[in-house]
């Protein structure tokens, strides 16, 4: 159960997905934020008005998938590292998922890494498509990985197989 | 003897915010900080803060420490005294402190006490072995001095500090064997729990530490399951191969000075234990003494900064210094603090404060 293990269930995840039509159009954000905590950087980071404005600092973020462009500004802005970008149009059998990543070493583009599930267990080998580590991200780097579509819910972290830092 | 309109004891997020708020209205402030640098616990918080974007949310704690420190140190109305430990508060408004090898006195009209909190200890066999740390010490070693506390850690406590320090240990390349907590649910924010879970750290609820093993240092730990009455369940002991035990089992407000000054105290577990009775202006039962931060009730740095600002403004208001907009500014701060606590996770603090107001 979520309050006992911190693992977002498949039902919770699926209920936060956009419509099937929207999912076929391109990247969208999923906010895996299911506990009302006082926090609003995702709302202020969104330049497209996709996150419903509210005076309630504790309100859960509500993403309007029609306004969301999947730009990813929320991914590095979220202090809880709970925002991800999913692009199901990447290829026929793979989705591109953008994850916040604050560990070292950073993976390199094209590198094969372990795709970890929500309990940290490696479930598939995944390919690193892109690594964003610009200064503006302030060390919450963003890694895009190609994930087999059957693991769309499962994979939320990676383990770099090299040991060295940097 | 020094003279000051306002003395602030403690240079953490609450104390710095109090000094800045009062100095912003022309009040002369003396800030006493026992460490050699300002910042309090902020200087080890490498994670991004929650809260409102207008109050540094999304900014890392270490950066907030820099921002506040620079503002305090460049403010000519604030006499910032580092390496100065407050020792006593006297009836005639004199605060005594030790600075280096000297014993000094400052005469004040108003006082803000922002002394923070201390970590709670847990009783178990071997808890005096080298390798048993409080979470604050682990953060100091790692994030301030760049020293690894160990190679493999057992974290005790699944509150925000336990979860955050676990994540910081992982970032430093330290393995965390497990997080145990006697409660039946995760006390910290669940986004923090999700973060450490997807790094593979198990969270074992209804479980406690029974012993740290070893003769000269920690060489292992024994954990055990608890029943719903927190009694250990025989036969559920499990040995973990760890060299470090990190305790994050709560904080107690540091209130000795307030007690000494005769402020009315009350035991309110939801607020962290014995706390000074205070109103929404952060004024204690002594009209010239205000309180802010964890010394008033154990909460987050975001709320400590708001409480500090309210306490500093209240001290300024009570000195009857005419300053435009000061009452409105305080009302806005009080509203912001209420908004921060308005949600589900603020219920405990809200209930505790309601008990205090009774």
Average pLDDT over residues B236-263: 97
| Inter-residue contact B299 to B289 (CB < 8 Å) | no
The whole-number pLDDT of residue A165 equals 52
pLDDT in tens, B287-298: 999 999 999 999
Residues of A in contact with B190 (CB under 8 A): 2-3, 6, 34-35
Distance CA A100, CA A98 (A): 7
Q: Do B190 and A6 touch (CB under 8 A)?
A: yes
Give the domains, in start order, of chain B with CATH numbers: 2-118+251-357 (3.50.50.60), 121-247 (3.50.50.60)
Residues of A in contact with B51 (CB under 8 A): 38-40, 57
Q: Do A41 and B339 touch (CB under 8 A)?
A: no
pLDDT at B335 over 90: yes
Pick from B182, B197, B201 the residue to mutate for testing the A interface (most A CBs within 10 Å): B197
The whole-number pLDDT of residue B54 equals 77
User: What is the distance in angstroms between the Cα of B57 and the nearest Cα belonging to chain A?
Assistant: 6
Is residue B230 classed exposed, middle or buried when 0-12, 13-18 and 19+ CB atoms within 10 A define those classes?
exposed
Closest residue in chain B to residue A103, using alpha carbons only: B171
Binned at pLDDT 50, 70 and 90, residue B53 comes out as: confident
Average pLDDT over residues B148-174: 98
Q: What is the mean pLDDT of chain B?
A: 97
User: What is the distance in angstroms between the Cα of A89 and the nearest Cα belonging to chain B?
Assistant: 25
Binned at pLDDT 50, 70 and 90, residue A164 comes out as: low
Q: What angle in degrees, to the nearest 10, is found between the helix axes of B326-340 and B301-318?
A: 160
| Inter-residue contact B278 to B291 (CB < 8 Å) | yes
The whole-number pLDDT of residue B322 equals 79
Distance CA B68, CA B24 (A): 13
pLDDT at A103 over 50: yes
Within 10 angstroms of residue B191's Cβ, the number of other Cβ atoms is: 22
Give Cα separations from A90 to A27, A104, A144, A145, B136 (angstroms): 9, 26, 11, 10, 44
3-class state of residue B155 by DSSP: strand
Phi, psi for B214 (deg, rounded to 5) = 130, 165
Judged by average pLDDT, the poorest of A51-55, A72-76, B43-47 is A51-55
| Inter-residue contact B239 to B219 (CB < 8 Å) | no
Nearest of B311, B318, B314, B313 to residue B295 by alpha carbon: B311
In the block, tokens 């931060």 appear at B293
Which B residues 202-231 touch A at CB under 8 Å?
203, 205
Average pLDDT over residues A107-126: 98
Q: Do A5 and B193 touch (CB under 8 A)?
A: yes
pLDDT in tens, B189-219: 999 999 999 999 999 999 999 999 999 999 9
Q: Which residues lie below 8 Å from residue A26, measured CB to CB, with a gap of 6+? A: A70, A87, A89
The whole-number pLDDT of residue A166 equals 42
Q: Do B185 and A58 touch (CB under 8 A)?
A: no
Distance CA B156, CA B208 (A): 7
Hey, is the C-beta of B193 within 8 angstroms of any chain A C-beta? yes
Which A residues 35-94 touch B at CB under 8 Å?
35-41, 44-45, 55-58, 77, 79-82
Hey, is the C-beta of B171 within 8 angstroms of any chain A C-beta? yes
pLDDT at B84 over 90: yes
Hey, is the C-beta of A30 within 8 angstroms of any chain B C-beta? no
The whole-number pLDDT of residue B325 equals 94
Q: Do A119 and B200 touch (CB under 8 A)?
A: yes
pLDDT at B324 over 90: no
């Amino acid at each position: 159960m979520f309050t006992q293990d911190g693992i977002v269930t498949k039902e919770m995840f699926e209920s936060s997905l956009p419509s099937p039509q929207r999912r076929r159009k391109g990247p969208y954000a999923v906010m895996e934020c299911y506990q009302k905590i006082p926090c609003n950087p995702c709302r202020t980071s969104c330049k497209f008005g996709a996150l419903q404005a509210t005076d309630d600092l504790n309100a859960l973020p509500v993403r309007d998938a029609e306004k969301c462009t999947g730009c990813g500004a929320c991914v590095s802005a979220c202090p809880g590292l709970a925002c991800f970008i999913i692009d199901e149009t990447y290829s026929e059998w793979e989705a591109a998922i953008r994850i916040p990543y604050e560990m070292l070493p950073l993976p390199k583009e094209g590198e094969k890494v372990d795709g970890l599930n929500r309990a940290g267990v490696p479930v598939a080998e995944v390919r690193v498509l892109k690594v964003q580590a610009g200064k503006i991200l302030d060390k919450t780097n963003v890694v895009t990985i190609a994930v087999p579509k059957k693991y769309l819910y499962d994979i939320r972290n990676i383990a770099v197989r090299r040991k060295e830092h940097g | 003897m020094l003279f000051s309109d306002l003395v602030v004891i403690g240079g953490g997020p609450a104390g710095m915010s109090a000094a800045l708020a009062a100095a912003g209205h022309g009040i002369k402030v003396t800030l006493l900080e026992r460490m050699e640098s300002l910042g309090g616990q902020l200087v080890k918080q490498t994670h991004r803060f929650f809260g409102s974007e207008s109050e540094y949310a999304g900014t890392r704690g270490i950066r907030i420490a820099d921002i506040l420190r620079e503002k305090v140190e460049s403010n000519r109305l604030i006499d910032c005294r580092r390496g100065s430990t407050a020792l006593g508060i006297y009836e005639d408004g004199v605060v005594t402190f030790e600075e280096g090898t000297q014993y000094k006195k400052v005469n004040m009209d108003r006082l803000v006490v922002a002394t923070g909190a201390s970590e709670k200890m847990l009783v178990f066999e071997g808890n005096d072995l080298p390798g048993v740390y409080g979470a604050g010490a682990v953060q100091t070693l790692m994030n301030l001095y760049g020293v690894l506390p160990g190679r493999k850690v057992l974290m005790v406590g699944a509150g925000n500090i336990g979860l955050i320090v676990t994540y910081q240990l992982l970032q430093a390349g330290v393995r965390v064997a497990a997080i145990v907590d006697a409660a039946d649910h995760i006390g910290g924010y669940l986004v923090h729990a999700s973060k450490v879970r997807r790094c593979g750290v198990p969270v074992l609820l209804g479980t406690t530490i029974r012993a740290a093993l070893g003769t000269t240092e920690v060489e292992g730990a024994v954990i055990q399951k608890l029943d719903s009455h927190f009694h250990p369940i025989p036969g559920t002991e499990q040995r973990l191969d760890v060299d470090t035990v990190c305790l994050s089992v709560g904080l107690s407000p540091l209130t000795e000075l307030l007690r000494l000054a005769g402020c009315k105290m009350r035991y309110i577990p939801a607020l962290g234990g014995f706390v000074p009775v205070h109103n929404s202006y952060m004024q204690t039962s002594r009209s010239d003494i205000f309180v802010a931060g964890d010394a008033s009730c154990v909460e987050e740095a975001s709320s400590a900064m708001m409480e500090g600002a309210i306490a500093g403004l209240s001290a300024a208001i009570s000195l009857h210094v005419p300053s435009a907009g000061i009452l409105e500014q305080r009302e806005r701060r009080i509203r912001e603090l209420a908004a921060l606590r308005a949600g589900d996770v603020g219920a405990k603090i809200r209930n505790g404060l309601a008990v205090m107001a009774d």
